[in-house]
Copies of this chain bind each other. A is one copy, B any other.
């Protein structure tokens, strides 16, 4: 009981930072911060000086490194002074928890020190290419230094810095944690969220807000699942008919300017966008403009024989017209993406071979017939991707189900049981994890299919989806990407992604379904799933109030994240505990 009593007595916001840093010590002194505090950005070749406030309106100019730091300073200003909150939820009710507003001591200066010049390509980082680690020191007299080997690391450090501060009900912002020393670096290089913007359309603002929330959780990838069977919102100037007929409706498309805006916004916040065009299945929305390219289109009512979801349909597998289409598509699209990302996702999940029996260029569902055709298909697509200077990402089925050969540069995205990641890494491939039993954030809301009467009332009641139950933050948080991976293969686990499929998700419920649960994954990916002190899963009791704080911070920046606990649980420390001893009684 001693340990728990100790936890409950901790000031709940003592830690305050999410994800938890590798090494972290702090005091309990109050320091205020003024919005005109001087900031210097020193790197081996350059020196810049501005005030926190002035940077917010500073022009977006300079090298990639300078632009990244400028953006980070601007977001820090907005976070501390415009998107902060009074932490009433985390203090005893009606208590006098705020510091006095007399005799304020202020942060004196903020020095951003980059001790290495960024290599080229900091706006399109490859996994692990730039050191995102940083050291943050808040001295007792208010001198702040953030040190990193890269501009991206400085940005991560500034993000941490903002989380030390709260709004005061009488105005101004303060930390109660001075002095501070943090040494921090990420456990995994690829920390992402997969956002399906095809099954439902999401306005640009929703995507930008998501990127901002990812960056605030030190995530660094937005996987944009931008086309699927249900709609094709992506405008391709060389193939304008694709979105003109395949989008859900007028105005529900992403123009080249929209794509540029999303990628640039992400690159400056250290969140690389990984666009996916899923293929050769999941492409039936192409039928609306190019029916000649699609086999097994919208077979009804027996869609289930031909696809994982209605409408069925796949690009034909042995068709010169399809190859010509792919060439036109990628020659238009990829050169526009490659200045701001190093990755492109070519999909490849959930093919049903039966569809190719209806494909007039194949007329077979025999794997022996299909395998070489699929190999030629993926080789062709990956050549387009590499010709544009990009690295392909694929779903696990490419190597695990269809037995295709892909380059060792390719990131293989596992989404099924832990055995998938084991198999991928045992083949010597790099893997991204995100087991649907843990990290599918859309699960558990019930089936979206309408059940025929009779069937409904019997076999499928209560109409759970295949990946039920809903994954609570505790379950998301309990997932270790290294589960079952042999020590000598762990370096191949590049990172992972949480997933938000959009069968039942649109702009109105995206935020609440994504946050704060994606933040739980962010801590696993940045800090590791295990508590270094115990080697066991990290403590929910320690994490819970910190996650609740992150939730409030997300709400303050416009993200409608769900609550973690009722205020009572948090107002006097962690008061809502389930003890082992309860079961002995």
Interface of A toward B, CB cutoff 8 Å: 1, 4-5, 8, 88-89, 93-94, 199-201, 229-231, 245, 247-250, 288, 298, 300-302, 304-305, 309-311, 444-457, 459-464, 468-475, 478, 502-506, 508-509, 512, 534, 536-537, 539-541, 544, 555, 560-569, 571, 574-583, 585
Q: A583 and B459: CB pair below 8 A?
A: yes
A460 to B571 Cα, complex, angstroms: 25
Of B88, B475, B508, the residue contacting A562 (CB under 8 A) is: B508
Copies in the complex: 2
Q: A537 and B456: CB pair below 8 A?
A: yes
Inter-chain contacts of A541 with B (CB < 8 A): 450-453
A429 to B557 Cα, complex, angstroms: 51
Q: Nearest 4 pairs between A and B by C-beta? A: A446-B472, A230-B568, A463-B474, A449-B578
A244 to B540 Cα, complex, angstroms: 32
Main secondary structure, interface of A, reads loop
Inter-chain contacts of A563 with B (CB < 8 A): 200, 504-506, 508-509
Inter-chain contacts of A310 with B (CB < 8 A): 568-569, 575-576
Inter-chain contacts of A200 with B (CB < 8 A): 563, 566-567
Q: A304 and B582: CB pair below 8 A?
A: yes
Of B456, B555, B576, the residue contacting A474 (CB under 8 A) is: B456
Q: B472 and A470: CB pair below 8 A?
A: no
**Closest-CB distance, A225 to chain B (whole angstroms):** 13
Q: B503 and A474: CB pair below 8 A?
A: no
A566 to B505 Cα, complex, angstroms: 8
A503 to B300 Cα, complex, angstroms: 43
Q: A444 and B469: CB pair below 8 A?
A: yes
Inter-chain contacts of A471 with B (CB < 8 A): 446, 462
A460 to B534 Cα, complex, angstroms: 20
A319 to B94 Cα, complex, angstroms: 28
Q: A250 and B478: CB pair below 8 A?
A: no
**Closest-CB distance, A289 to chain B (whole angstroms):** 11
**Closest-CB distance, A148 to chain B (whole angstroms):** 33
Q: A448 and B569: CB pair below 8 A?
A: yes
A576 to B582 Cα, complex, angstroms: 46
Assuming the contacts A249-B88, A472-B445, A566-B230, asked whether A301 and B452 have C-beta atoms less than 8 A apart, the reply is: no
Inter-chain contacts of A469 with B (CB < 8 A): 444, 462, 464, 468-470
- List 30 interface pairs A-B (beta carbons < 8 Å), by A numbering: A8-B300, A94-B249, A200-B567, A230-B566, A231-B567, A301-B577, A302-B581, A305-B585, A310-B569, A310-B576, A311-B568, A444-B470, A446-B473, A448-B576, A450-B541, A450-B544, A452-B541, A452-B577, A452-B579, A453-B537, A454-B580, A456-B540, A461-B478, A463-B475, A464-B469, A464-B472, A468-B469, A504-B565, A508-B512, A508-B563
Q: A575 and B300: CB pair below 8 A?
A: yes
Inter-chain contacts of A577 with B (CB < 8 A): 301, 449-452
Inter-chain contacts of A555 with B (CB < 8 A): 508
Q: B94 and A503: CB pair below 8 A?
A: no
Assuming the contacts A301-B579, A502-B566, A575-B300, asked whether A470 and B453 have C-beta atoms less than 8 A apart, the reply is: no
Assuming the contacts A93-B247, A453-B539, A457-B536, asked whether A448 and B566 have C-beta atoms less than 8 A apart, the reply is: yes
Interface centre among A89, A249, A504 (most CB of B within 10 A): A249
Q: B462 and A447: CB pair below 8 A?
A: no
A304 to B582 Cα, complex, angstroms: 7
Nearest opposing residue in chain B for A534, CB measure: B453
**Closest-CB distance, A541 to chain B (whole angstroms):** 5
Inter-chain contacts of A568 with B (CB < 8 A): 199, 229-231, 248, 310-311
Nearest opposing residue in chain B for A464, CB measure: B469
Inter-chain contacts of A580 with B (CB < 8 A): 452, 454-455
A444 to B541 Cα, complex, angstroms: 20
A460 to B580 Cα, complex, angstroms: 10
Inter-chain contacts of A562 with B (CB < 8 A): 445, 504, 508-509
